Amino acid sequence: MTMIQILIQRLAQEILQELFDKNQKQYKKIEKAIDELTQKGLSASNIKKLTGTKNIFRKRAGRWRILFTVEGEIFKIWIIAMEKGTKQDYLKWIFYIQKT
């Protein structure tokens, strides 16, 4: 089995640090989801490709979403955010990822 390399971008690192400091339960849930990505790649559970994008995916971890891109065996996690349920939030995140 191929091991996936996870690169956590600055914004996602800041969010993880804040969760680590303030909400260990949610932090552990997200940590488990990232570990699953490392082990299974796109075969992990609760993954969807975001509509209208070339290589942007989201992984659901409870009420949280992990947005990442895939370049070969390298997964770049761009943002970890609470699901707000609006298409506009996803469009904002997609725009953020595509411009960086």
Give tens-digit pLDDT for 44-89: 999 999 988 989 999 999 889 999 999 988 999 999 988 776 778 8
Mean of the pLDDT values across residues 17-28? 94
Q: How far is residue 83's CA from residue 88's CA, in Å, rounded to a whole number?
A: 11
pLDDT, residue 30, reads: 95
**Kind of pairing between the strands at 5-8 and 74-82:** parallel
Q: Which residues contact 68 (CB under 8 A, 6 or more apart)?
A: 37, 56, 57, 58, 59, 75, 76, 77, 78
Band (pLDDT 50/70/90 cuts) for residue 29 is very high
CB count, 10 Å around CB of 80?
26
